[in-house]
């Protein structure tokens, strides 16, 4: 899996840290393209609302503020967790990681509530291309948060076992890239889908 | 004309057409129609499968197979890629033969391959050749050669590498078995919407396409990440980026292209799947955007063209320099050209959509950017020629393929420039001219490169050199067959033959051209048979215990280790001081490379069954969603993640720190 | 190494001599296609320069520097790069490409702007269906199918639409193609030349019978075209429920009227292709010779010729009814219609 011991001798350009971190950066690069495609799909599909609601009718800025706050602050709480790990405070890491996990789960809860309320109104994925693209874009992001939550649980478990600390550090570092990326994507979803959408900008 | 008609009647009688819809068996949300071709497929599958099982049991190879299935070793995975790609090549080639037989004469019925059956063959041929033949062949060669060329012990993530391979195989299986389970995809390898949705073509086939390509695509993205990390961070001491062999360079640029191109395909396929399974309206004709699919697909699809040619470019550079006994001419400009091709490759996708009705501005921009790609490609061609100049050229089989490639590829390249010219392309577009063009570059470029690579690195894989006489027969028949098959296609296109038609009228005057193409296809089939015979013969005879520097004159690191490459390839890593390090060592130090004074510790991944399990669950999930068994699909996805959790919890048991 | 060129040349020679080589794209019957032909020939000529240069260098170098050739390998050649040469083969292709780009840009600009601005030109709406083409002449209230009648030496703008999947409208001898995409209308500008019969095709895969989705283009002299328009507009389609004496017409009324109309005025009976002046047509469904034998076979089992076609098999017709129907369809000729004969 890892060849951290050999990196220094093999190559001088150590700018991206361990193999895992560099690999993670590449993965995030690929994910960026995926999300770009979904954003593009969303923008071209949002004009086609058929009998369903137009973006302005569907989207509400107020109710998304709290989940947005939760998710964005999870980036900061995760940063705290990393800091503690560096300073050998595994306990602190676990606490902050737990808080991060909680934020993520709450965010997911809000999203699930949002989706079910839409579906309750009869606005399903088949209603219009706009809704379909909305569900795909926001849903894919939600799936990433869910995936990250499970991942966090596993890291928590590894930290709990306290074994092989260096692998935990690698995992934490790789996860950091993933988690900050997921948050960044949300910033764009928040702005493009929710802020602009609720103002009827497209 | 009259004699032609008599001839056609004669041939028609020779062709046997089976009754259609004899029996049909309900199969979940579809049905399997037992036409003669399907029965033939089942019988073949059982004979081949049964034969393989019998052979393994009879020869007591189960344990060895168990070892290979669980391996995470780059060389073994590379060999498995190549073997699987060979199998898919035969299937894709068989489809091509059916198509060529159906097209050999105007207005005939060959077996069942008319209408949708022809479209199924055509789609399977394209999908298999692009995703499941050419790509895995290249990944196989990359797996075999790159760690050896840059002096790495393995790839950065061996577990991921095994997973990539098994995902590719799963995807390939899905596309292949679709034929037996309710129909192959039939909307072309480009699977344009709305033809591929809304029930315009068989839904089962379209789902098989979407899931098969999606699953293997996930594996492909992982492979790309793996190779980028390996090449950037795991080179031997002193092997700077600008000392890497050009095959590694070509592959490096390719995997970067994959990293940014394949996610677009993944996104496009997700939406296609939703349209087909959940009845959403992304690509439908009325409310949706049929052109959205084309954009997403070609944003992937055009870089894909360079994805499959760039490693071949690199390989040809290595081989030509090897057998001309001379360093590559213009090494730096070769790399710059690779980079430029990759960069421009992302900005030309609309040239596949010249006729969809965009105005003059968009078409002109994309035409100019497309024409520009000819410049770096031209640089490479002249660099190859000047590598030969002043050298001392030998002609073993890999070199023959490399040399056969140059004129063939130039011919494919100039027609490429011709089709890039918008207003003329209104004539070429979707005609056989384009079919001729891309077969020239893909068969004459990539496939010849693959053959060259297989001959070239056969010693590193199995310690043997394939029989040279048979190799030369293979090359010459292949070259003749290739030109005979694909050259007339240009003319057929100019005579107004559209792509993807299963027949044409006698009065179209297309018979001679198509007949020649079909003869060429038969020659290529013969040529491939010679190659297979050569492989099998060599394995049975164990002929020629190749030396480390099997071809003589080896320049790169892979020729400094024994053939076949031993289990532990590098006990100590070589220290590299220049390009062509092994050549330099032979010139200056009687062939002794410099090694690290002390071996550094490294981590080794052991064998594991988890990649196969994960891929198996991908298969289960795909199967469930394809046939409308959503609970099976969901269970499959849950199992995938469960296996990943198992991996996370047990990964440290599978790695050892070595010295 | 030379063998492959000899081989390729032989193939070309064989084709050129054996059968008379017909290349529709290079044999234009209109100004657009002629312009495109010129561009094709020009670009091919420029590209042949590249091919020839590469071929000469290739054969020359391989021969001269084969292993064991006595030629001296001078130090100059063994250099790993040569700035001047490399600049030369970067700049020269750029110049060649620029040479090709100029006429290409001018031609593209002309074609596309004409498609959008040429309002005096004749307008024709084209709709692609699986697997037939429908042609509407909005200014004349004419609707036909499978045969496209055009006046000679006339500028025409086609408005392309599709009712199902993507099709592509292509008449090789009149000019390049353009896609008919559901949900949008594309404009295509073409200009006809000499009168004649030309083949039209669907170039985008549209399903099982993509190969059969063809049409014939008949370019008339001005006079003939006017005559054709008059004939097409004569109402000859039997009304539903009307008592018809002519046996074939009765069979038509009972079996075909659901989908087909027999004249070009129809706004009804448009589910299937229009059958105006069927007796004058050269082909059935644009693929089969329009004779008695083939027409009978076609009516009884169209699936045999166009797989997955919407038209059902009419096995229910007796031999007598079939004969009468075929006679009726074949009687729909211009002179008959104009003189009111049945």
Tens place of pLDDT per residue across chain C (342 aa): 445 555 555 555 555 544 557 899 999 999 999 999 999 999 999 999 999 999 999 999 999 999 988 888 876 667 788 889 999 999 999 999 999 999 999 999 999 998 888 778 999 999 999 999 999 999 999 999 999 999 999 999 999 999 999 999 999 999 999 999 999 999 999 999 999 999 999 999 999 999 999 999 999 999 999 999 999 998 888 888 888 888 999 999 999 998 999 988 877 888 999 999 999 999 999 999 999 999 999 999 999 999 999 999 998 899 999 999 999 999 999 999 888 876
Q: Which helix (H) or strand (E) holds A199?
A: none
Residue B309, pLDDT above cutoff 70: yes
Closest CA of chain C from B137, distance in Å: 26
- Cβ distance A5 to B649 less than 8 Å, yes or no, reads no
What pLDDT does residue C13 have? Answer: 55
**Separation CA A172–CA A177 (nearest Å):** 9
pLDDT tens digits, B149-183 = 999 999 999 999 999 999 999 999 999 999 999 88
Residue B591, pLDDT above cutoff 90: no
- Confirm or reject contact between C267 and chain B (CB < 8 A): no
State the average pLDDT over residues B124-146: 97
All structural domains of chain B with their residue ranges: 406-548
Residues whose CB falls within 8 Å of the CB of residue B539, separated by 6 or more in sequence, listed in order = B462, B464
**Separation CA B66–CA B608 (nearest Å):** 10
CB C119 within 8 A of CB C51: no
Which chain B residues are closer than 8 Å to A40 by Cβ?
295-296
Query: Which residue among B234, B266, B605 sits closest to A34, beta carbon to beta carbon?
Result: B266
State the average pLDDT over residues A84-101: 88
Closest CA of chain B from A25, distance in Å: 9
What pLDDT does residue A161 have? Answer: 83
pLDDT bracket for residue B51 (50, 70, 90) = very high
What pLDDT does residue C242 have? Answer: 83
B interface mutation test: which of A11, A12, A38, A131 has the most B CBs within 10 A?
Answer: A11
What is the number of domains present in chain A?
Answer: 1
Closest CA of chain B from C289, distance in Å: 10
Residue B623, pLDDT above cutoff 80: yes
What pLDDT does residue B645 have? Answer: 96
- Cβ distance A33 to B649 less than 8 Å, yes or no, reads no
Domains delineated in chain C: 21-65+82-221 (2.60.40.420), 247-338 (2.60.40.420)
C175-180 sheet: strands from edge to edge: C147-151, C214-220, C196-202, C167-171, C175-180
CB C210 within 8 A of CB C190: no
Closest CA to B448 of B308, B238, B606, B582: B308
Find the angle CA(A101)-CA(A107)-CA(A112) to the nearest 5 degrees.
Answer: 125
* Phi, psi dihedral angles at B604 (to 5 degrees): -115, 135
pLDDT bracket for residue B441 (50, 70, 90) = very high
Does any domain span residue A36?
Answer: no
**Separation CA B348–CA B369 (nearest Å):** 6
Alpha carbon dihedral C43, C46, C50, C52, in 10-degree steps, equals 110
Query: Which residue among A5, A26, A48 sits closest to B287, beta carbon to beta carbon?
Result: A48
- Confirm or reject contact between C226 and chain B (CB < 8 A): no
Residues whose CB falls within 8 Å of the CB of residue B86, separated by 6 or more in sequence, listed in order = B532
Higher-confidence residue of B70 and B1: namely B70
Does any domain span residue A33?
Answer: no
Q: How many CB atoms lie within 10 A of CB B56?
A: 13
C interface mutation test: which of B21, B355, B511 has the most C CBs within 10 A?
Answer: B355
- Confirm or reject contact between C27 and chain B (CB < 8 A): no
- Cβ distance B260 to A154 less than 8 Å, yes or no, reads no
**Separation CA B617–CA C313 (nearest Å):** 46
Query: Which residue among B159, B264, B292 sits closest to A44, beta carbon to beta carbon?
Result: B292
**Separation CA A197–CA A177 (nearest Å):** 28
Nearest Cα residue in chain B from A27: B225
B/e letters for B430-467, b = 16+ CB within 10 Å, e = fewer, are: bbbbbbbbbbbbbbbbbbbbbbbbbbbbbbbbbbbbbb
Residue B435, pLDDT above cutoff 60: yes
Residue B2, pLDDT above cutoff 60: no
Residue B647, pLDDT above cutoff 90: yes
Q: Is B390 exposed, middle or buried (0-12, 13-18, 19+ CB in 10 A)?
A: buried
- Cβ distance C307 to B114 less than 8 Å, yes or no, reads yes
DSSP structure class, residue C193 = -
Query: Which residue among A29, A50, A132 sits closest to B259, beta carbon to beta carbon?
Result: A29
Closest CA of chain C from B437, distance in Å: 13
**Separation CA C269–CA C259 (nearest Å):** 5
What pLDDT does residue A11 have? Answer: 38
Q: Which chains touch B (3 or more CB pairs under 8 A)?
A: A, C
Q: CA of B432: how far to CAs of B166, B491, C138, C177, in Å?
A: 35, 8, 34, 14
> Between B203-233 and B610-626, two packed helices, what is the crossing angle to 10 degrees?
150
Which A residues, 63 through 122, put their C-beta within 8 Å of a C-beta on chain B? Answer: none
What pLDDT does residue B407 have? Answer: 96
Query: Which residue among B385, B424, B503 sits closest to C36, beta carbon to beta carbon?
Result: B424
Tell how far CA B326 is from the center of its chain: 30
SS3 C153: coil
What CATH number is given to the structural domain containing A166?
1.20.120.80
Check the CA dihedral B557-B558-B559-B562 and report its sign. positive
**Separation CA A160–CA A162 (nearest Å):** 5
Residue B571, pLDDT above cutoff 90: no
Closest CA of chain A from B256, distance in Å: 9
Closest CA to B94 of B41, B136, B131: B41
Closest CA of chain B from C324, distance in Å: 28
B574-575 and B594-595 strand pairing: antiparallel
Q: CA of B572: how far to CAs of B73, B100, B605, B633, in Å?
A: 18, 53, 18, 47
Which chain B residues are closer than 8 Å to C113 by Cβ?
360
DSSP structure class, residue C341 = -
Does any domain span residue A154?
Answer: yes
What pLDDT does residue B79 have? Answer: 97
Nearest Cα residue in chain B from A25: B225
Which chain B residues are closer than 8 Å to C38 by Cβ?
none
CB B239 within 8 A of CB B150: yes
What pLDDT does residue B23 have? Answer: 78
- Cβ distance B495 to C23 less than 8 Å, yes or no, reads yes
Nearest Cα residue in chain B from C161: B285
Does any domain span residue A24?
Answer: no
Range of the domain at A140: 54-198
- Confirm or reject contact between C195 and chain B (CB < 8 A): no
Which chain B residues are closer than 8 Å to C43 by Cβ?
417-418, 421, 424
Lowest-pLDDT choice from A91-95, B371-375, B414-418: A91-95
């Amino acid at each position: 899996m890892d060849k951290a011991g050999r990196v220094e001798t093999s190559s001088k350009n150590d700018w991206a840290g361990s193999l895992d971190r560099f690999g993670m950066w590449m993965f995030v690069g690929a994910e960026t393209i995926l999300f770009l495609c979904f954003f593009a799909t969303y923008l071209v599909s949002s004009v086609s609302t058929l009998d369903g609601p137009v973006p302005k009718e569907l989207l509400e800025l107020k109710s998304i503020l709290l989940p947005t706050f939760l998710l964005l602050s999870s980036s900061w709480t995760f940063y705290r967790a990393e800091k503690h790990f560096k300073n050998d405070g595994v306990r602190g890491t676990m606490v902050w990681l737990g808080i991060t996990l909680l934020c993520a789960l709450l965010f997911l809860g809000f999203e699930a509530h949002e989706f079910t309320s839409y579906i309750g109104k009869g606005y399903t994925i088949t209603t219009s291309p706009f809704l379909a693209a909305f569900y795909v874009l926001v849903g894919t992001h939600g799936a990433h948060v869910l995936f990250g939550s499970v991942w966090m649980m596993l890291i928590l478990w590894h930290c709990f076992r306290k074994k092989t600390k260096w692998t935990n550090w690698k995992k934490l570092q790789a996860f950091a890239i993933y988690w900050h990326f997921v948050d960044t994507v949300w910033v764009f979803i928040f702005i493009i889908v929710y802020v602009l959408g609720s103002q009827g900008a497209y | 004309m009259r004699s032609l008609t008599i001839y056609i009647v004669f041939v028609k009688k020779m062709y046997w057409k089976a009754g259609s819809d004899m029996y049909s068996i309900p199969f979940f949300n579809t049905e399997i129609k037992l036409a003669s071709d399907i029965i033939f497929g089942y019988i073949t599958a059982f004979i081949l499968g049964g034969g393989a099982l019998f052979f393994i049991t009879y020869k007591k190879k189960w344990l060895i197979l168990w070892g290979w299935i669980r391996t995470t070793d780059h060389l073994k995975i590379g060999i498995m890629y190549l073997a699987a790609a060979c199998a898919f090549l035969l299937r894709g080639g068989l489809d091509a033969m059916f198509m060529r037989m159906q097209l050999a004469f105007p207005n005939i019925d060959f077996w069942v391959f008319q209408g949708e059956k022809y479209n199924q063959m055509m789609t399977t041929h394209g999908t298999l050749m692009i995703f499941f033949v050419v790509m895995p062949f290249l990944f196989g060669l990359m797996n075999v050669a790159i760690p050896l060329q840059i002096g790495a012990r393995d790839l950065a993530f061996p577990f991921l590498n095994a997973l990539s391979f098994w995902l590719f195989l799963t995807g390939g299986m899905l596309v292949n078995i679709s034929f037996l389970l309710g129909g192959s995809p039939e909307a072309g390898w480009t699977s344009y919407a709305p033809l591929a949705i809304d029930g315009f073509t068989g839904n089962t086939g379209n789902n098989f396409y979407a899931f098969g390509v999606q699953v293997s695509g996930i594996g492909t993205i992982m492979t790309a990440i793996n190779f980028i990390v390996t090449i950037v961070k795991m080179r031997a001491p002193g092997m700077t980026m600008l000392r890497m062999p050009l095959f590694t360079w070509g592959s490096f640029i390719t995997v970067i292209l994959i990293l940014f191109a394949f996610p677009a395909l993944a996104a496009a396929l997700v939406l296609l799947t939703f349209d087909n399974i959940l009845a959403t309206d992304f690509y439908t004709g009325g409310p949706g955007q049929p052109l959205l699919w084309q954009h997403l697909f070609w944003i992937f699809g055009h870089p894909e063209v360079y994805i499959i040619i760039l490693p071949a470019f690199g390989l040809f550079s290595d081989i030509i320099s090897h057998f001309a006994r001379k360093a590559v001419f213009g090494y730096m400009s070769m790399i710059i050209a690779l980079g430029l091709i990759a960069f421009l490759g992302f900005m030309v996708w609309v040239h596949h959509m010249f006729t969809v009705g965009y105005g003059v501005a968009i078409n002109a921009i994309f035409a100019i950017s497309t024409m520009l790609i000819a410049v770096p490609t031209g640089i490479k061609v002249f660099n190859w020629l000047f590598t030969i100049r002043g050298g001392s050229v030998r002609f073993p089989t890999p070199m023959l393929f490399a040399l056969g490639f140059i004129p063939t590829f130039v011919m494919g390249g100039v027609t490429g420039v011709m089709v890039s010219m918008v207003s003329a392309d209104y004539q070429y577009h979707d005609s056989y001219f384009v079919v001729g063009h891309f077969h020239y570059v893909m068969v004459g470029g990539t496939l010849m490169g693959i053959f060259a690579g297989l001959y070239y690195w056969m010693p590193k894989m199995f310690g043997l050199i394939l029989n040279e006489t048979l190799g030369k027969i293979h090359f010459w028949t292949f070259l003749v067959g290739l030109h005979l098959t694909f050259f007339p296609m240009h003319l057929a296109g100019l005579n107004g033959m559209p792509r993807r038609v299963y027949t044409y009228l006698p009065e179209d005057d297309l018979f001679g051209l198509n007949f020649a193409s079909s003869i060429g296809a038969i020659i290529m089939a013969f040529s491939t048979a010679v190659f297979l015979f050569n492989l099998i013969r060599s394995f049975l005879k164990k002929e020629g215990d190749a030396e480390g520097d099997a071809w003589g004159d080896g320049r790169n690191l892979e020729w400094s280790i024994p053939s076949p490459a031993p289990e532990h390839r590098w006990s100590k890593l070589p220290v590299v001081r220049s390009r062509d390090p092994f050549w330099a060592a032979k010139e200056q130090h009687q062939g002794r490379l410099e090694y690290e004074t002390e071996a550094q510790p490294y981590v080794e991944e052991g064998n594991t069954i988890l990649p196969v399990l994960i891929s198996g669950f991908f298969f289960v999930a795909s199967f469930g969603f394809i046939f409308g068994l959503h609970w099976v699909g969901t269970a499959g996805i849950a199992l995938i993640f469960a296996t990943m959790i198992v991996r996370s919890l047990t990964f440290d048991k599978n790695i050892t720190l070595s010295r | 190494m030379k063998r492959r060129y000899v081989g390729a040349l032989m193939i070309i020679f064989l084709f050129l001599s054996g059968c008379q080589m017909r290349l529709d794209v290079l044999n234009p019957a209109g100004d657009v296609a002629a312009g495109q032909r010129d561009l094709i020939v020009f670009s091919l000529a420029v590209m042949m320069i590249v091919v020839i240069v590469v071929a000469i260098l290739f054969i020359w170098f391989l021969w001269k520097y084969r292993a064991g050739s006595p030629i001296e390998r001078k130090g100059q050649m063994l250099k790993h790069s040569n700035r001047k040469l490399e600049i030369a083969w970067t700049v020269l292709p750029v110049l060649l490409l620029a040479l090709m780009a100029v006429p290409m840009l001018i031609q593209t600009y002309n074609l596309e702007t004409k498609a959008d601005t040429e309002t005096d030109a004749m307008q024709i709406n084209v709709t692609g269906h699986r697997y037939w083409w429908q042609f509407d002449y909005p200014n004349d209230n004419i609707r036909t199918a499978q045969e496209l009648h055009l006046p000679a030496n006339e500028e025409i703008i086609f408005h392309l639409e599709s009712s199902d999947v993507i099709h592509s409208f292509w008449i090789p001898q009149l000019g390049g193609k353009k896609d008919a995409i559901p949900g949008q209308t594309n404009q295509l500008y073409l200009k006809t030349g000499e009168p004649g019969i030309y083949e039209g095709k669907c170039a985008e895969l549209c399903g099982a019978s993509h190969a059969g989705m063809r049409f014939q283009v008949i370019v008339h002299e001005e006079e003939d075209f006017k005559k054709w328009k008059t004939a097409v507009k004569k109402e000859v389609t039997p009304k539903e429920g009307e008592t018809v004496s002519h046996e074939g017409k009765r069979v038509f009324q009972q079996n075909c009227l659901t989908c087909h109309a027999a004249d070009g005025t129809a706004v009804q009976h448009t589910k299937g292709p229009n059958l105006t002046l069927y007796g004058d047509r050269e082909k059935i469904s644009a693929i089969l010779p329009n004779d008695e034998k083939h027409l009978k076979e076609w009516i009884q089992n169209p699936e045999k010729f166009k797989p997955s076609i919407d038209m059902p098999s009419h096995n229910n017709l007796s031999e007598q009814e079939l004969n009468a129907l075929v006679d009726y369809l074949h009687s729909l000729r211009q002179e008959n219609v104009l003189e009111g004969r049945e």
